Structure 1
């Protein structure tokens, strides 16, 4: 059994580096002390670093992401220290990173007890990212080998595209991490429905972590709503609705962890002994239909 922690992450203002360090260390310690082996924070959780910038800069959409670039390496080092200290896997959400071509990409790193394991970029841009923020798509999907099993990362909107999760599943991923950031209830449900559909289609587990709360100081993260959840295929030995766990509030006061357990071996058995074989039958039928 693997214990997972998905955070409903409240977007709060931390005006100094020390205040932010205390916040992130304390938050992660809470989940680790509850026995979580993997901690997931939401899309753009790292953009909270813009609270350290001068008031005018942190309130400017594009200036805020330019301003946090010098903070990314110290932030990564902090995340790595947390993962090593607690012996956990930490996906601390994502943040915009400027690459050597000058373009920004929405990037999510994964850290483990042994250090940094790599990163996954968001591939499908929302209208906000493309039209207002000029965030560029990444390239390619990665499967991460961990002591808990093989996993992949699909950032928010990426979960609404079946072939992305399919590629990760074919690469051996048993668990997909779905950090998300949505400012409407409809947006939250789009990502959640996508996550549940990907779990059904591929007979795998999907863990979702959302941003929550109001942050008037940030144009990028001003409104946030969503629930944390763990989803699996509804089948033998699994919950009848495929929902292993779901946080109770759409917009809690402050950050809250959803702590939940999943037996990835039992999820794998569904592919061999389930009532249906969606993972196997989809490509076979698709090829016959062409």
Structure 2
């Protein structure tokens, strides 16, 4: 089974209405080039560091402009449209970093809430505390699509390989990893992490990214990318600017890669022993 996948690179600003129009234009471009699965980046709807400013434009899922626009686009274009994520207002006053997958009829097939929160202090002075505003998800998801089994992750999730391994063992053939990686961490780790997740699980990775300097002042790494199960880069974007990254995907490559390196089958349970404590004389207690 072969199909054409697209990763949409954006530089989302603070206004969801503007970002929705940009998303629609780029998704239509991808569809015109033959894509039947299109993925947008993390926080497609708005990148806004100011919490009060973000809350002012947030809506619940039923009234979110990105959700409604994506549903309409999927139906109009007859494709699977995956909003990598957008910020959704929850009833308890917190926020979900939520991805959505829509089918060719415009109906929502599933959503995925980012599990791992980006709570870090970088050595360039940047400090991030997603957990202060966002409610983490607690459920990984797989969806059977006509062209393969799709698993979900968002940005910082890529640093937790157990999430990918569990989905691969459960049947995932494609992993979506939309992101808004910082420039500093992206330069160091973006491609390495994505290729590692593809290789160690024998699956395709599709990662649409935010790119460039945003209205709120942050800078994201870009380099949206599609990687095959052997770790080869099929298509990639640059560091800045809107772009549609496309690749022809042959799902048979998953079985071929796993046949050559059957590590998903060869894993074995094991125990972990702590090193024995030493006495002052150097003899193990």
Give the TM-score of the pair, scaled to structure 2. Answer: 0.83
Q: Which runs of 5+ in 2 are unaligned?
A: 120-126, 273-285
In 2, are the aligned partners of 1:211 and 1:225 still within 8 Å (CA)?
yes
Alignment correspondent of 1:85: 76
* 1:243 and 2:233 matched: yes
In 2, are the aligned partners of 1:124 and 1:157 still within 8 Å (CA)?
yes
Alignment correspondent of 1:134: 133
Q: Which runs of 5+ in 1 are unaligned?
A: 49-57, 235-240
Give the distance between the partners of 2:142 and 2:97, measured in 1 at CA.
Answer: 18
User: Residues 110 and 189 of structure 1: is their aligned pair in 2 closer, same or farther, counting only changes over 3 Å?
Assistant: farther
- Higher Cα Rg: structure 1 or 2? 2
Give the distance between the partners of 2:194 and 2:20, measured in 1 at CA.
Answer: 31
User: Residues 277 and 137 of structure 1: is their aligned pair in 2 closer, same or farther, counting only changes over 3 Å?
Assistant: same
Alignment correspondent of 2:160: 161
Alignment correspondent of 2:189: 190
For the residue of structure 1 that corresponds to 2:10, the secondary structure is strand
Give the TM-score of the pair, scaled to structure 1. Answer: 0.82
How many residues are treated as equivalent by the alignment?
Answer: 261
Q: Give the root-mean-square deviation of aligned CA atoms.
A: 2.3
How much does 1:80 deviate?
0.4
Alignment correspondent of 2:11: 10
User: Residues 189 and 148 of structure 1: is their aligned pair in 2 closer, same or farther, counting only changes over 3 Å?
Assistant: farther
Give the distance between the partners of 2:10 and 2:160, measured in 1 at CA.
Answer: 24
Per-residue Cα deviation, 1:27-79 (whole angstroms, up to 9, x for no partner): 1110000001111111111115xxxxxxxxx7x61112212223752331211
For the residue of structure 2 that corresponds to 1:199, the secondary structure is helix
User: Residues 155 and 188 of structure 1: is their aligned pair in 2 closer, same or farther, counting only changes over 3 Å?
Assistant: farther
Q: Which runs of at least 4 in structure 1 moved beyond 6 Å after TM superposition?
A: none
User: Residues 13 and 129 of structure 1: is their aligned pair in 2 closer, same or farther, counting only changes over 3 Å?
Assistant: closer
Report 1:157-236 matches (<5 A): 157-187=156-186, 189-215=188-214, 217-218=215-216, 222-234=218-230
Greater helix content: 1
